[in-house]
Amino acid sequence: MQARIYKSNLLRKISELDKSLMCDISNFKEEVSKLQCKELQRIYLEFQKSLDKIQNKKPIGAVKRVKNHLCYKFGIAIVFNAKDTIGFLILPVVLYNIFRTHRFYQEISVGKKFKLEEYEDYQESLLYKQSLCYKIGEAFIKSHKQWYKGGYLWFWVRYWRLKKRFYEKLIN
């Protein structure tokens, strides 16, 4: 008889523990779901912020576009090849090759291009437009348009003036 009482007590205790565990488990599930909701809300807000940044972000590439201008390419070639006699002699060939490859890539490139002002790195691109290479390239293109008035001779005068002004600004 002692064993039956012991067994019935054990069964009753087990059922009580089972009920309390079920209550604890349901409470735990509620707490987990609350925490998950808070965590999911936090993740959703972070995702929404990053999505807003992506949607409102301006494109990058103004510097690359300025470096792809013919003025800049000509300016770099002139600055580096006008330093010595051999470079000066092969300068027309170099400039012609630059022009030919530039025209080829201009024909190939297709796609929507934004205005330079719409790019995120527009201010940095303005620095490249103010650089010595870009201004020398602009002067060369202007002189090429007036070749019949001695534009190429005047170009070298403009070249030395631009170079002199640039180095004066660096010193001051």
Contact 66, 72 (CB under 8 A): yes
- Can you give the pTM of this predicted structure? 0.62
Mean pLDDT of 61-88: 89
Higher pLDDT, 81 or 25: 81
- What confidence tens digit (pLDDT) does each residue in 21-70 have? 677 777 777 777 777 777 777 777 787 777 676 666 777 788 888 999 99
- List the domain boundaries for the chain: 1-57, 62-171
- What confidence tens digit (pLDDT) does each residue in 98-150 have? 999 999 988 887 777 778 888 888 899 999 998 888 988 888 888 888 878 77
The CA distance from 81 to 71, in Å, is 15
